[in-house]
Structure 1
Amino acid sequence: MTAARVLTGIAVAAALVTIAPAAAQASAGSPAAASAAPKSWGPAYAPGKAAKASGTISVTGLSGTIPAVGTAHVTGKVYDRTKGSSCGWAVFRVTYRKADGNLPFIHKAYRTCNATKPKSFSFTYPNTYEVELKVCSEATSKPSLNCLYAGTWKVLYVSH
Structure 2
Amino acid sequence: MPITRPLAVLATVAALVSIAPAAAQAATTPSDTVSASETARVWGPYYAPGKRAMTVGSLVAVGEDHGDLPTADTVKITGKLYDWTRDRSTCGWAVFRITYKANGNNLPHKHRSIRDCSYRTAKPYSFTHPDVYQVELKVCAEGRAAKPSLNCLYAGTWKTLYLSK
TM-score interval w.r.t. the shorter chain? 0.7 to 0.9
Q: CA RMSD in A?
A: 1.4
Unaligned runs of 5+ in 1: 1-32
Query: Partner of 1:62: helix, strand, or coil?
Result: strand
Q: Which residue of 1 aligns with 2:153?
A: 148
- TM-score, normalising length: structure 2: 0.74
In the alignment, structure 1 residue 53 sits paired with structure 2 residue 55: yes
Q: What is the aligned residue count?
A: 128
Q: After TM superposition, list the pairs within 5 Å mapping 1:1-150 onto structure 2.
A: 34-70=36-72, 71-84=74-87, 85-139=89-143, 140-150=145-155
For 1:67, the aligned partner's letter is L
Structure 2: distance between partners of 1:78 and 1:148: 17
1:138 Cα deviation after fit:
0.6
For 1:76, the aligned partner's letter is G
1:34 Cα deviation after fit:
4.7
Q: Please tell me whether the aligned partners of residues 34 and 62 of structure 1 are also in contact (alpha carbons under 8 angstroms).
A: no
1:117 Cα deviation after fit:
1.4
Structure 2: distance between partners of 1:34 and 1:64: 14
Comparing 56-65 and 130-139, the one that deviates more: 56-65
Q: Please tell me whether the aligned partners of residues 38 and 63 of structure 2 are also in contact (alpha carbons under 8 angstroms).
A: no
Percent of residue pairs identical = 51
- TM-score, normalising length: structure 1: 0.76
Structure 1: distance between partners of 2:119 and 2:110: 28
Q: Please tell me whether the aligned partners of residues 41 and 56 of structure 1 are also in contact (alpha carbons under 8 angstroms).
A: yes
For 1:159, the aligned partner's letter is S
Structure 2: distance between partners of 1:116 and 1:44: 15
Structure 2: distance between partners of 1:97 and 1:137: 30
Structure 2: distance between partners of 1:46 and 1:35: 33
For 2:161, the aligned partner's letter is L
Q: Please tell me whether the aligned partners of residues 52 and 83 of structure 2 are also in contact (alpha carbons under 8 angstroms).
A: yes
